[in-house]
Structure 1
Amino acid sequence: MVGERRGRIRAADIATVRERSKIDEIVGEHLQLKRAGGGSLKGLCPFHDEKSPSFQVTPTRNLFHCLAGETGVLTENGTVPIRELAGKTIRVLNGSGGWVEAPFSAYGVQRLMRVTLTRNGRTKELHATDEHRWFVPSGALRQHRREKLTRDLRPGDRLSHSFPMSRVLNPATRPSPFGIGRGVVYGDGTRAGAGSIAVLYGEKDLELARYFDGCRSWTEERGTRYYGMPAYFKDERPALDEDASYLLGWLAGYFAADGCVAEDGDAILNSARQEDLEYVRVLCTRLGIGTFGVAKQTRMGIDGVMSDVFNVRFMTKGLPVSFFLLAHHRERHLARTKAHERENWVVQSVEWSDRVEEVYCAEVPGTHAFTLEDNILTGNCFGCGEGGDVISFVQKIDHLSFSEAVELLAGRAGVQLQYEDDGGRPTGAPNRAAAGQRARLVAANTAAADFYAAQLMTPDAAIARTFLAERGFDKQVALDFGCGFAPAGWDTLTKHLRQAGFSQEELELAGLSKQSSRGSYIDRFHRRLLWPIRDITGDVIGFGARKLADDDPGPKYLNTPETPLYKKSTVLYGVDRAKRDIARRHQAVVVEGYTDVMACHIAGVTTAVASCGTAFGAEHINVLRRLLMDQDEFRGEVVYCFDGDAAGQAAAMKTFAEDQRFVGQTFVTVEQEGRDPCELRQAHGDAAVRDLVARRVPLIAFVLKTTLAGYDLDTVEGRVQALEKAAPMVAGIKDHALRPAYARQLAGMLGNTDEAEVLAKVRAITGEDQPTRAPKRQKAPSRSADDAAFFIEREAVKAALQSPELAGPVFDAVPEAAWTHPDYAAIAAAVAAAGGAAAATVTGMAWLDLVRAHCDRESAQALLTALAVEPMMAPGEEVDSGYVQAVVARLQEMAAVRRVAAVKGKLQRMNPVESPDEYTRTFGQLVALEQEARSLRERAMGGLGR
């Protein structure tokens, strides 16, 4: 707070402040202004990253403004109109071919110019403001980029492009055989019953058959059909977050099925469905493979009907040879005659349009550029539309309320403000003492910061300089952050500030001095490394001090005590440096210490802040809400960065309780080796710190994963206990629309838990399914005979009791985990204890009595006689070994499906980046289980009439 609230400020005083505050002088403190003609000044917009100045100031009118534009943007999930990205932070492709986070916003109505472009016979139009920035290749080899504004573009200009860095040209990335098989089925397959088959003819049959080893096949004159693939091979495209080898394999298989390589080397994929090729373009973007746009042709089919056919052409330089599975495709690719593929769009014309509409802006760190549809590289800012007067400028630049901005400007201009109540009546004489006291305390802290910074360069401060150097901070960094050193003398600072004109009362009130046990006044800090702590306006309000000497009896960290300036519950270290980027990027990163903030900012994570001397709490959240503009219509993002040890996980769990205070999304990122950002930067460099933040996960997802890690999810008891613990967390999610999605995710993480069960549990906790009146108490539901598992298990035990000679080894091989009904499980165990069905030497009542003698479950004993005489449900008149084997295969297949669900849940809980070997082994286990389930399903098919 700049001043203490004493009613509203008189309108006449506000007018005086506005009149005496020169906007060119105020703005000039934040950016360099140059004359732009007509009495205006121009500079780089302080609210948006840009290279071409678009921020204009008109001193005579005391106003400022900047310009705008709009079009579609290339994201990791495909091309999205920029208007749909407004208010979101999205990963976009920058000018270096890397994916970076960038916030998007809408900024008012502007007039647009029309830019007409051509490439490879295609024409497209873009609309942008006249001062929007573009890039054109320059230099003898066109290896450089030169900026041009829209109005300066000329016919013939080639616009620069940007493509993602390749993930497939590394020889270690080979197409996954499993992915290839799935891709072939998607292109050249068909559904068959509950599964799918591959249909291969001619050359394809000869060269692609090896990807279907182990599958049942049927060869006919034209080719071969391969059976036994899951239905999703034909029905679904793979998820984009699969690993690169798997996605490359799927794409290669699909291309082998439906693609062709022209004589000149062009690689073209064809499809009757445009949505398939749009997905392929998104997939290629993920893999770093360039594509040209989807083209449409209308052709006459063999039935004489005209229909649309679509194709997409690949940029062949981004395709590895291993991508081409068919010999003639490889031969044409290697012998391609096209020397160059035109990647640049060429300007055909630029003219004013009649469009005047809402415009949008992306703010991209680093390269200050991002990529549009069809890989066109464009300038960082499509527009800002900022406007206002000197007061609103100070509000925006320093993130102050209107009253705070007026008070700050009044102090600069020497205007004494008067306050009044809602009726216009004065609220009393202004509190000059309070206003003067704050100014004096800020001045004392500022003088102390200068003193400590000078002391850091003295010989006595070598231990402090060493501390910083060991953590990767050099002299310039220490100066930038204002680091200082408190000397060993008892009253060195106190004497220095007294000589500078500050009273002892002021020094004590500021927390810089304290009274010793002898009654004299001494410095608060001795032999410590210090960080000046600033409020949001940049005023020094206190210090954080780190112990350096082993013989220092004090705590490791010591902070300024509570003062009129320093309130630890609201103070965030680094907020003065981070505030603008937090507001621009709509993201705040919360770390745990001073050196972590320093490391983050140096590494490029310029939205990092930390609490000082206390845990991050509710009032800190309110500070960030203000910076993030965290309202229902706009959702900012807070990323908590914790150590990977138990304490860090505990901190994340504690933070979840405060998560409900944000409307915006809350994320967490944890360094798995236990390093904080400072240590991570020392070990692996700046990029590792940026990557740590980029790997953030939703806080609720992290909390669920951490919670489930404490239970044995391989057991029914563990899953039930985990659900009881985790369901209230999902029920507590503030965004009601997210609850069903996280309930489904929780079901997947639990493995064998039904989604409907989890959803019902969550809704019961939230009261969404509560009836208007209390229902009658009901008994717990029993297993129904219509339940597939109930039916199959009952048939299996009937077979073992009535026809042990038919059930034989197949029944005895059923694992204990396959049984879900406790009575049937007890009977199966009794059969095993009696020697097993295969070894039964007696039948009829003698066999039944032998099994009963080994059955220790009373309810199961009661079932034995009924099951021994109940007819089996075989489709024919007689029960044969085929039916019994089909029943047992179906029982084992259902158990395998449950194991598949459990392994899928385990995969969901794993991070492939942090545990690549374990993830690969588990993925291989999943593939093997799915193949086992499929094989069992085929054995069961045909033998069951139900």
Structure 2
Amino acid sequence: MAGLIKAEDVTLVKERSSLEDVVREHVTLKSAGPRSLKGLCPFHDEKTPSFTVSPDNGTYHCFGCDKGGDVISFMMEVEHLTFSETVERLAGRAGIELHYEDGARPREEGAGRRTRLVEAHRVASEFYAEALISAPDARTARDFLRERGFNRSVAEHFGLGFAPRGGEVLAQHLRDKGFRDDEVVLAGLVGRGRGLYDRFRGRLVWPIHDITGDPVGFGARRIFDDDRIEAKYLNTAETPIYKKTQVLYGLDLAKKAIARDRKAVIVEGYTDVMAAHLAGVEQAVATCGTAFGADHVRTLRRLLRDAPDQQPAKVIYTFDGDAAGQKAAMRAFELDGQWDARSFVAVAADGQDPCELRLSGGDGAVRALVDDATPMFEFAVRTTLRRFDLDSPEGRVLGARAIAPIIAAVRDQAMRAEYLRTAPGWVGLSEDHLRAEVTRAGSGAGRTGSPQDRRRTPDGDDAPHDDAPPADPSMPAPDDRDPIVRAESQLLECLLQFPASVPARELAAVRDTDFTAPAHRSLFAAVMAAGPPGERTPAAWLDDVRGNAPQVVHQLLFRYAVATLPTRLDPVTGAPQQRYARSLLVRVREVALQGDINTAMSELRRSDPASSREVAQRLTQLQKDLTLLRASLD
């Protein structure tokens, strides 16, 4: 662990930091007598000033809410920082070098280097913002914003910009401002090939700020059809100041509203954050090129101040209404136990995201979407039940078994009892039957591994040992004795180790539902969500895959990422032949198509004359698809 900041350095930081200057960044102060200043308290709503500052002794106190302290406690409270973060930030402002008890730094970057990297981003932000207005080729970016209801003042409020299409326009601008090549490359603003090149050239860019408001990265959207990088969005790669699993877009703007209302709204994209804020949902934030995860939870907990002894805070997720959105919601449900906040899911009836909803229904529609959110538990149960035919006795029994672990995982005994009274109606079984399934699920059935059998994963989370099956009853360990499941495993091994060996066009036809093993479905969905590796290193791409996968399959991912492929490999690259990967694709797709054909044939036998024609046409097309698929290997 990193050492504590030496006490004498903390004292020096307090001595050289002006409380008055720091407070004035947040509060309008007026003289209240000799050596005393007064203003409206930043920590609670008031009409008459009761927040008093004494510059001479460096203290403040609010007579309305009874909060007080020194410059460190003020910045901690108003900026929502930890003690160490606050001292480091103040030290950077005062030009003080900090020392630590064991000689280590709590962060890998020095204060001076961080300052330089942040300043490079600030210069880049200003450059991009000016280019959005004046660059000859920025009209497409402005049209993109205008079509989504964002005018110039909105772009300026959120700091949007445009990266000119020239190869190294920003790189040269940063050089002119005195930045070294190694600094701008380290910052992730510029890449290095035969020379330097701008990473986000020809794209609409959003500056990404940390919780304190410092610019630390960018998100960039493709707007030109001839952009050589096909990925719709590019995000800053990991840098000393940018950790994608920790930053949230819009948090610098939303933090006061989140802390004030003890409510956070998590949306899926940059334009959704903008639309939500403009509609009055000021608590909206979004992840930056990765799935919402445990580090994001920790970041928001500091703002929500959630604790078991008070009214729960609220976390509202908005997701698209498609299958991917439902999967994202279920991944969020897995994180629900990591905080005491009550979680909700908001999905528009027609599947529109907040940006689309604002265009079609106005600001009120966005606010209504958030206000009418469904409790996360109910959404998780209903989403799980969609997999079962509740019109049949077998489907109802299987559905009850599937949702039992969800109910058993609810920690609040009173809430669990309420869910046990409500959920039977959704399944169509008696409360006694469901209660028995919940009792069985909560007794340890299906759980694997004792504490001593568990180890730490690379990201520090407890996880089952590699040889243990996933600890989720709904996602058992894949049985590789089944030849179909084994083919799925080998395809995933190819995808995780050599993604370029799997033909992209054929891969696009594969669905996660084509996989028979639930854990394989989850892993494949994570691979597809991460997209092609592009400019990412293999390690960074695999990390993105892991970020999109639920914790329960992380060990399976690690195993497949290092497994030996049972085929002849290229002696130089170690990659398998493309025919091998294609044969696995065909095998997985073939089994799925055959299943669809069997279902269609069964449906045809049971259909009435009015609908049999449509079913017959679908069956004919499926049979053609299967024939073409098998012929593709010849």
Residue 216 of structure 2 corresponds to 541
Bigger radius of gyration: 1
SS in 2 for 1:740: helix
Q: Which moved more, 1:495-504 or 1:406-415?
A: 406-415
- Give 1:529 deviation, angstroms: 0.2
What is the identity, as a one-letter code, of the residue corresponding to 1:677? P
Q: Could you say which residue in structure 2 is the equivalent of 1:664?
A: 341
**CA shift digits 1:152-211 (9 cap, x unpaired):** xxxxxxxxxxxxxxxxxxxxxxxxxxxxxxxxxxxxxxxxxxxxxxxxxxxxxxxxxxxx
Secondary structure of residue in 1 paired with 2:32: strand
Distance 1:428 1:651, change over 3 A: closer
State the one-letter code of the partner of 2:16.
R
- Deviation at residue 719 of structure 1 after TM alignment: 2.1
Q: Distance in 1 between matches of 2:325 and 2:399?
A: 21
CA contact (8 A) 1:643 1:672 kept: no
Residues 393-421 of structure 1: per-residue CA shift (max 9 Å, x gap): 10011111111111111221233322224
Deviation string for 1:788-837 (max 9, x for gaps)? xxxxxxxxxxxxxxxxxxxxxxxxxxxxxxxxxxxxxxxxxxxxxxxxxx
Q: Letter of the 2:248 partner, please give it.
A: L
1:550 — aligned with what? 225
Give 2:393's aligned amino acid: V
- Could you tell me which residue of structure 2 aligns to residue 437 of structure 1? 113
Higher mean C-alpha displacement, 401-410 vs 624-633: 624-633
Q: Which residue of 1 aligns with 2:244?
A: 568
Structure 1 residue 761: deviation in Å? 1.9
Correspondence 1:640 to 2:321: no
What's the secondary structure of 2:319's corresponding residue? strand
The whole-number CA distance in structure 1 between the counterparts of 2:106 and 2:354 is: 47
**Which is richer in helix?**
2
2: distance between equivalents of 1:491 and 1:688? 43
CA contact (8 A) 2:250 2:284 kept: yes
Distance 1:738 1:671, change over 3 A: same
Find the counterpart in structure 2 of residue 23 from structure 1.
19
* Secondary structure in 2 matching 1:529: strand
Following superposition, the deviation at residue 575 of structure 1 comes to 1.1
Q: Select the structure with the greater relative contact order (CA < 8 A; seq sep ≥ 6).
A: 1
2:267 to 562, 566, 591: 591
Query: Which residue, 62, 71, 87 being the options, matches 1:406?
Result: 87
Q: Does 1:386 align with 2:386?
A: no
Shift of 1:712: 3.6
* Match in the other structure for 1:582: 258
Q: Is residue 486 of structure 1 aligned with residue 167 of structure 2?
A: no
Q: Distance in 2 between matches of 1:671 and 1:434?
A: 46
Structure 1 position 477 matched with structure 2 position 473: no
Residue 450 of structure 1 aligns with which residue? Answer: 126
Letter in structure 2 aligned against 1:633? D
User: Are the equivalent residues in 1 in contact too, given 2:109–2:240 (CA < 8 A)?
Assistant: no
- Residue 138 of structure 2 aligns to a residue whose secondary structure is helix
What are the superposed Cα offsets for residues 638-688 of structure 1, whole Å, 9 maximum, x if unpaired? 111111222222221222122222222111111111110111111111121
Q: 1:429 to 1:533 in 2, by over 3 A?
A: closer
Residues 521-552 of structure 1 deviation map (CA, whole Å, 9 limit, x = unaligned):
11111110000111111111110000001111
Q: Deviations over 1:493-516 (max 9, x none)?
A: 001101111010001101111123
SS of match in other structure, 1:460: coil
Distance in 2 between residues matched to 1:477 and 1:442, nearest whole Å: 23
Aligned equivalents of 1:542, 1:467: Cα separation in 2: 21
Partners in 2 of 1:51 and 1:613 — Cα distance?
42
State the match for 2:437 in structure 1: 761
Residue 602 of structure 1 and its aligned partner are, at CA, apart by 1.3
Range with greater deviation from structure 2 (619-628 or 597-606):
619-628
Tell me by how many angstroms 1:38 deviates: 5.2
Shift of 1:429: 10
Secondary structure of the 2:124 match is helix
Amino acid at match of 1:27: V
Please give the alpha-carbon distance, in whole angstroms, between the structure 1 residues aligned to 2:226 and 2:112.
40
**8 A Cα contact 2:51 2:60, kept in partner:** yes
2:5 is the counterpart of 1:9: yes
In the TM superposition, residue 47 of structure 1 has moved relative to its aligned partner by 2.3
Equivalence for 2:585: none
Q: Does 1:559 align with 2:240?
A: no
Q: Is the contact between residue 108 and residue 240 of structure 2 (CA under 8 Å) also seen in structure 1?
A: no
Output the amino acid matched with 2:217. Answer: G
Distance 1:461 1:525 in 2: 13
- Give runs of aligned pairs for residues 460-471 of structure 1, distance below 5 A: 460-471=137-148
Deviation of 1:590 (Å): 0.6
Instruction: Report the AA paired with residue 482 of structure 1.
Output: G
In structure 2, the partner of 1:506 is 183
Distance 1:43 1:657, change over 3 A: same
Superposition pairs of residues 351-366 of structure 1, within 5 angstroms: none
TM (norm. structure 2) is 0.67
Secondary structure of the corresponding residue to residue 550 of structure 1: coil
Secondary structure of the corresponding residue to residue 522 of structure 1: strand
Contact 2:92 2:112 in 1 (8 A): no
Are the counterparts in 1 of residues 162 and 203 from structure 2 also a CA contact under 8 Å?
yes
Please tell me whether residue 707 in structure 1 is matched to residue 388 in structure 2.
Answer: no
Aligned partner (choices 290, 296, 302) of residue 614 of structure 1: 290
The Cα offsets for residues 709-754 of structure 1, whole Å up to 9 and x where unpaired, read as 3434344333222212111211122334322211111112234x22
Partner of 2:332: 655
Partner secondary structure for residue 179 of structure 2: coil
Q: Which residue of 1 aligns with 2:197?
A: 522
Instruction: State how far apart, in whole Å, the 2-side matches of 1:48 and 1:602 are.
Output: 23
Asked whether the 8 Å contact 2:132–2:138 carries over to 1, the reply is yes
Structure 1 residues 430, 714: closer, same or farther in 2, change over 3 A? closer
**Does the 8 A contact of 1:636 with 1:665 survive in 2?**
yes
Name the residue aligned to 1:396.
Answer: 77
Tell me the SS of whatever aligns to 1:671: coil
SS at match of 2:253: helix
- Structure 2 counterpart SS, 1:419: coil
Aligned to 1:58: 54
Do structure 1's residue 417 and structure 2's residue 94 form an aligned pair? Answer: no
1:433 deviates by 7.7
Structure 1 Cα separation of the partners of residues 412 and 106 of structure 2: 45
Superposed displacement of residue 60, structure 1: 2.7
1:418–1:430 Cα contact (<8 Å) kept = no
Q: Aligned pair in 2 of structure 1 residues 738, 507: CA closer, same or farther (>3 Å)?
A: same
Aligned residues: 442
* Contact kept in structure 1, 2:389 and 2:396, CA below 8 Å: yes
Aligned partner of 1:193 in structure 2 is: none
CA 1:666–1:54: 2 relative to 1, 3 Å: same
**Cα distance in 1 for residues equivalent to 2:67 and 2:362:** 37
Distance 1:401 1:617 in 2: 20
What amino acid sits opposite 2:204 in the alignment? L
Q: Which amino acid aligns with 2:131?
A: Q
Deviation digits for residues 557-612 of structure 1, max 9, x if unmatched? 00111111111111211111111221221111110000011111111111111111
Change (3 A) 1:433 1:537: closer
Runs of 4+ in 1 over 4 A off after TM superposition: 428-433
Cα distance, 1:6 vs structure 2:
4.5
Aligned residue for 2:200, secondary structure, equals coil
Q: How does 1:175-214 map to 2 (within 5 A)?
A: none
Q: What do the CA deviations read for 1:268-319 (whole angstroms, capped 9, x no partner)?
A: xxxxxxxxxxxxxxxxxxxxxxxxxxxxxxxxxxxxxxxxxxxxxxxxxxxx
Cα distance between partner residues in 1 of 2:107 and 2:319: 44
Q: Which moved more, 1:530-539 or 1:637-646?
A: 637-646
Residues 675 and 431 of structure 1, relative CA distance in 2, 3 Å threshold: closer
Distance 2:309 2:228 in 1: 51
Question: What secondary structure, in the 3-state scheme, does the structure 2 residue paired with 1:681 have?
Answer: helix
1:747 to 401, 406, 424: 424
Secondary structure of residue in 1 paired with 2:218: strand
Residue of structure 2 equivalent to 1:602? 278
**1:544 touches 1:557 (CA, 8 Å); kept in 2?**
yes
**Structure 2 equivalent of residue 624 of structure 1:** 300
Q: CA deviation at 1:434?
A: 2.3
How far apart, in 2, do the equivalents of 1:42 and 1:454 lie?
A: 38
1:654 is paired with a residue of what secondary structure?
Answer: helix
Percentage of identical aligned residues = 53
> Could you report, residue by residue, the CA deviation over 1:211-232 in whole angstroms, capped at 9, with x for unpaired residues?
xxxxxxxxxxxxxxxxxxxxxx
